Structure 1
Amino acid sequence: MKPRSLLFTLYGEYVQYYGGEAWVGSLIQFMKRFGISESSVRGAILRMVQKDLMQVRKIGNKSYYSFTAEGKRQIDDGVERVYSIRRSEWDGMWRILTYSFPESKRELRNEVRKELTWTGFGAISNSTWVSPNPLESRVLELMERYQLQDYITLFSSSEVLSHANEDIVNKGWDLQQISKEYEQFIEKYQKIFDELSEKAFQNTLTDEECFIERTKIVHEYRKFLFQDPGFPNELLPANWTGTAARELFWNIHQLISIPAVRFFESLYEPAPDSQVEPARHKAVNPFDKIQV
């Protein structure tokens, strides 16, 4: 696990439900469970502060960290996509985005490409990206945030005259490869689920183990957000394994959520002036926020 990515996972899964702020000592203790040293934690936090993703508040000799508005936006976007229900029906519309950046804006162009991939768009040519999902508001927000009105044009169309829908999908995405990676995820975590279930039945499953496994599976499942465009069923291949992987993710998450939160609370130290009441071991469950 990379420290920066793990910080996003910890705040998205736990800290945001406790006011969104954590003492650096607590963060060090959490990340120690994943083999990350104190110096690596502090270095990652410093770099995120420098990039305006995190901010610090000093109280006495202690430092408390929270995410900035931009960092929080990225957390919220990731949590929403991990826990939302995938659309099963397609409205038949393609969202088509074209761009043209001058060479002086190369870094901005690369950042836009990353954002489009994260959002679920696929590139069918060097400067043409498409998606069958209703992402118009996302794109317009992206254009506003980066002031891209002079470089990007967004269309929508119900018909592609030159290619079948399957051809467009194959141009923009390698769904077979993504399906294979889902298979590897299932193979790995089915064994873990069976082991956790057996321990839970025997009452030998510890809170710390649940915290580690919940954090790991969310951390690993989030990687698919950069690959899986979240297509409606009509555009998915017959052998699609993403649905089974998602069900397995949900089953493990539900099994270990309460003890995982209990362990989190045992190490978490809020700021002394925090007005947020502790969850008292309530299952902090992002699935409760599911959106269709």
Structure 2
Amino acid sequence: MRARSALFDVYGGHLRERGGAATIAALVRLLEPLGFAAPAVRTAVSRTVRQGWLRPVRLPAGPGYALTPRAEKRLDEAAARIYRTRPSTWDSRWHVVVLEELPARPARDRLTSSLHLLGYGELGPVTWIAPRPSRELSDVLAAEEVAARTFHGEHDGDDTELAARAWDLAELGADYATFVAEWEPRVSVVDASSAAAAFAASQQLLHAWRKFLFRDPGLPPQLLPPDWSGREAARFFDHHTERLARGANRFVESCLDSQ
């Protein structure tokens, strides 16, 4: 876990619902159980400000940093997929994005990463599909100065085969099973009695789980294998996140109360 990623996780997992702002001192305290010293936190904050995700603000306790509207949108979209708060219903239509031209590297790499994060799978160099449109798509395309045609349409063929072409579901399913096997012994030994330990374990689990956002678009059940291991992985993540929440929240509140 890098300090910038940990910072995003803390804002998305805890600070977004608490106003989306914190002093730099509070951020240093929050990231300390994750192994980051103050210089690393300050560097991550500065980099995140330059990238347009955070903005400096004056808080009652002193200088701090708040989420920008762009960051709020990104974190809200991510949270909806992380915690699966939106219906998985599907109208049998795909959202199709056809790029008018490929940007040069490294813009192409950034665009590919962003489209994966938004839930789009690649059918070809310029053609992407998703089971539902993303509110962030226009912002992502504009940021890389890429023009595209977008539309909804039904696939004249087998939708299951189309999904399997756009996403490697066999590998993804195997990785979900590995996720449970690797994290079960790590988080099961932590309980909510130690606030700092509960916070660290829950944030590390969140960080590992969030990586699946780049690979899993949230396909509807009818397009997934009947024994889809992603369902068990989601239940595992939800159970331990809820189990550790009391201690994690207590730690966050203690850090913010000291602002």
TM-score range, shorter chain: 0.7 to 0.9
2:120 maps to which residue?
121
User: What's the secondary structure of 1:154's corresponding residue?
Assistant: strand
Which residue type is aligned with residue 162 of structure 2? I
* 2:133 counterpart residue number: 135
Instruction: Output aligned runs, 1:118-197, within 5 Å.
Output: 118-131=117-130, 133-135=131-133, 137-139=135-137, 142=140, 148=146, 151-161=147-157, 164-196=158-190
What does 1:185-264 align with in structure 2 at a 5 Å threshold?
A: 185-196=179-190, 205-264=193-252
Displacement of 1:192 in angstroms is: 4.0
Give the corresponding residue for 1:101: 101
Describe the superposition over 1:46-93 as per-residue Cα deviations: whole angstroms up to 9, x where unpaired.
Answer: 111122221223569943111222222222221122112464543221
The two structures have a TM-score, normalised by structure 1, of 0.79
Aligned to 1:91: 91
- Distance in 2 (alpha carbons) for counterparts of 1:206 and 1:257: 11
Give the RMSD, CA atoms, in angstroms: 2.6
Letter in 2 for 1:222: R
Distance 1:141 1:58 in 2: 28
CA contact (8 A) 1:23 1:64 kept: yes
- Partner residue in 2 for 1:289: none
Residue deviations 1:179-232, cap 9 Å, x none? Answer: 111111111233345434xx56xxxx3122211112111121111111111101
Q: CA deviation at 1:250?
A: 0.9
- Paired residue type of 1:129: W
Distance across 1 between alignment mates of 2:135 and 2:75:
18
- SS of residue matched to 1:14: helix
Q: Which has the larger radius of gyration?
A: 1
Report the CA distance shift for 1:142/1:44 in structure 2 as closer, same or farther (over 3 A): closer
The 2-side partners of 1:15 and 1:89 are apart by 30
C-alpha separation between the residues in 2 aligned to 1:67 and 1:86? 23
C-alpha distance in 2 between matches for 1:166 and 1:224: 20
Q: Relative to 1, partners in 2 of residues 1:40 and 1:140: Cα closer, same or farther, differing over 3 Å?
A: closer
- 1:114, distance to aligned residue in structure 2 (A): 2.4
SS at structure 2 position matched to 1:44? helix
Aligned residues: 259
What amino acid sits opposite 2:217 in the alignment? P
Q: TM-score normalized by structure 2?
A: 0.88
Write the letter of the residue equivalent to 1:210.
A
Per the alignment, residue 71 of structure 1 pairs with 71
3-state SS of paired residue (1:135): coil
Cα gap change, 1:95/1:17 in structure 2, threshold over 3 Å: closer, same or farther?
closer
Q: What is the identity, as a one-letter code, of the residue corresponding to 1:168?
A: L
Specify the alignment match of 1:5 in structure 2: 5
Q: 1:264 deviation in Å?
A: 1.2
CA apart distance, 1:30: 1.7
From the superposition, tell whether residues 19 and 90 of structure 1 become closer, same or farther in structure 2 (CA, over 3 Å): closer
Residue 23 of structure 2 contacts residue 59 of structure 2 at CA under 8 Å; is this kept in 1? no
Q: Is residue 88–residue 232 contact of structure 1 (8 Å, CA) maintained in 2?
A: yes
How far apart are 1:270 and its partner, in Å? 7.3
Instruction: Say whether the 8 Å CA contact 2:122–2:128 is kept in structure 1.
Output: yes
Contact map agreement 2:21 2:66 (CA 8 A) in 1: yes
